[in-house]
Amino acid sequence: MLRRVLCTMFFMGALPSPAEMSQGHISVVLLGATGDLAKKYLWQGLFQLYMDQVSSGHSFTFHGAALTALEPGQKMMFDVLKKLACPPDEAPDRCAVLKDQFLKLSQYHQLKTAENYTVLNREIEVLLRQEGLKEIARHINSSCRPPPGAWLRVVLEKPFGHDLESAQQLAAELTSFFREEEMYRVDHYLGQAVAHILPFRDQNQEFLDPIWNRHHVERVEIVLKEVVDAKGRTSFYEQYGVIRDVLQNHLTEALMFLTMELPGNLSRTEEVLQCKLQALRSLRGLEKHSAVLGQYQAYASHVQEELKKGQDYVSTTPTFAGVLVQSDSLRWEGVPFLLTSGKALDERVGYVRVLFKNRAYCTQSETLRDAGHSQCKAKQIIFYIGHGALNTPAVLVSRNLFRPVMPKSSWREVVGQPELHVFGQPLSDYYVYSPVKERDAYSVLISNIYHGRKDFFITTENLLASWAFWTPLLNSISQQPPRLYPGGVENQNLLDFEMVSGELAFTAAEPVELLHPDRSMPSDFKTIQSKFRQSPLVSMWSEDLISQLASDVEKAANRAVAGSGQFHLALSGGSSPVALFQRLARHHYAFPWRHTHIWLVDERCVPLTDPESNFFSLHSHLLQSIRVPYFNVHPMPVHLNQRLCVEEDGGTELYAKEIAALVANSSFDLVLLGLGTDGHTASLFPDSEDGLEGTQAVVLTESPIKPHQRMSFSLSLINKARQVFVLVVGKGKHDITTQISRVGRQPRKWPISGVSPSSGQLVWYVDYEALLG
């Protein structure tokens, strides 16, 4: 007798081996028979299995089991069974007969004690939960294992652990009771459209072999978006979050189908699984900045309500994530794979999109050519999982690529629907195919379990390799506050992200409202447009803030170079910008340094080789690591005629003339400033005699701390800039940040308050510690 066991999902019990017997009895037991998953999917999947196999000669009985008492449990289960549906192509009369038979073959059992398992010695399917899995597995092994000559299949539903360590522990417990060939780990994504990726690649090798590689693929997007939130599931979600819930399993499996080498024979399960494992092991390790994270704003209140948390409880659980994955394989090196999923988004849709490079330039208007076959349009292959504009699983191939080979028995070409657009292009631009007969994921997987198709499931080796890949990222972001987003269409561009020097960053800055000074830590991060002194504010943890600032500096550089051919950047001294210099040097390899002129906003009157010199710090942390032309670096002339900052030597006039000669209208593209604890900026201090008023561009000033003599841009020159960024970091700056937020324009008392570009933009970059204390 053959027995199958599905943990978390099903338990498949004993049945005579099909190779030895053409007929036999299959007794199916579903644990958790009254739960949500059973109600939504599992009973329907079992009914589909019965409809498919009723003519095979086997007899069936179905046993629902749960902790619910007999009478209420029986009523709950049969209420579900009465709502089971047949496929649209099933004749109504036959459907009614099969449904009636299925109900007569089904019965409910309360399952509470070890003795209850002894009645399950003929079952094939049992739904289990992760909690107490070891104990349940022990009972199955001792009471439900079939006699020699039959087989056992244990089917497990995710989650398969919480990280690598817990997955290893769970795997060790299960393997103490079951052999690898007896365990089937279910990922319902493998019963959906992603399961068609491998057959599609195999059937279209003639077209894909030349272009399925890094030379032709621009990027790959693997996306699962949901409009629902986590309300009602926060006990699960607070423990797992979106990466563990979706990316580590569903989206990773889709990634493997895309990147693995095709085995010689797709019907050989071992070859398929081995190729998947090799692809998984070729992935480059993830780091903190490989991901962007978000959390819908109402999540905190959902957690507080459902988990009985206090109002001061702060959750860092992400409900949205975008992750950049790269492979070191020869085929895929350098190709970005973007995995994205989240709740409370603008639409419900899932897809895998392969976007190809397009080197064509079309001279003639699109209206004068066959638009669908135009080489200037995007070239892409899309495996559409469902919902969204199409609302059905589908495979789409751009007409300017090739006409795919699709088995007519299982796929039909979709024509018409000219009003539909997918990724900005009309449906007519694609060859579109949808399944002839659409089946839900669990029906497909239950059938595969029944027929022993292990290539649709996750082996222990593949599972642990996946957790080994994802766990370092999960550890690195465990305390990282996610970006808040309002949810739905109100998200607008808050969750848009981009690739910058091999890392991910949100394209829009995350403004944060200035909270009351007595707030110790943000329990209510505000991802809404916000101001600080009537100017845009960007606020994050220090490390993330520096990363964002560096990206924004690079964007400003690229804009300036595109417009005028050069970028004039003025940098302040002090300790605050050191982290920025290091970030630019180590991560922004595409920065247009060759077209950049670097100036000093202020300098201490010491030799440029002195460690106290701002230029010395700039050279140590940035200049020596980048390729900027020698004549594009402009240190302040504080050391003339073997003297330091002597007014008669004319150092300030000399620097002002150099600026006027090279910088159009003396208007810098970007000036970076800091903020001192006394409110000074650049080397403009409270009550400075020069630089706070008047039109002089560069001035000599006196600092209250050594070295006292300084040279500095004046407020007049600073305010001519197209953009001014002010960087403020650290708890030591919290008091002055709060003070500056409350005062008007008083440059003699608070020099920073005089920074107000006449025709440019001022942006504040303030970390959480400076902002909130």
Q: Which residues are catalytic?
A: 250
User: What tokens appear for 219 in the block?
Assistant: 């990027």
Please say whether the beta carbons of 694 and 733 come within 8 A.
no
Q: Which residues contact 106 (CB under 8 A, 6 or more apart)?
A: 61, 62, 63, 64, 77, 78, 81
> Residue 721's Cα: distance from chain center in Å?
36
Helix axes 92-104, 43-53, angle to 10 degrees: 110
DSSP secondary structure string, 24-49?
-EEEEEEETTTSHHIIIIIHHHHHHH
DSSP tag of 404: P
User: What tokens appear for 766 in the block?
Assistant: 């303030």
Q: Which residues contact 338 (CB under 8 A, 6 or more apart)?
A: 219, 220, 221, 222, 322, 323, 324, 325
User: What tokens appear for 442 in the block?
Assistant: 């669990």
> By three-state DSSP, how is residue 223 classified?
strand
Backbone φ and ψ for 238, nearest 5 degrees, come out as -65, -25
Cα angle 602, 608, 610; round to 5: 110
306 forms beta bridges with none
Q: In what order do the strands lie in the sheet with 602-604?
A: 602-604, 709-713, 698-702
3-state helix, strand, coil in the chain (%, to 5): 35, 20, 40
640 forms beta bridges with 643
> Residue 770's Cα: distance from chain center in Å?
28
Single out the residue of 553, 525, 531 nearest to residue 725, CA to CA.
553
CA distances from 441 to 196, 422, 444 (A): 12, 24, 5
Backbone φ and ψ for 39, nearest 5 degrees, come out as -65, -45
Please say whether the beta carbons of 661 and 668 come within 8 A.
no
Nearest-angstrom CA–CA distance, 324 and 293: 12
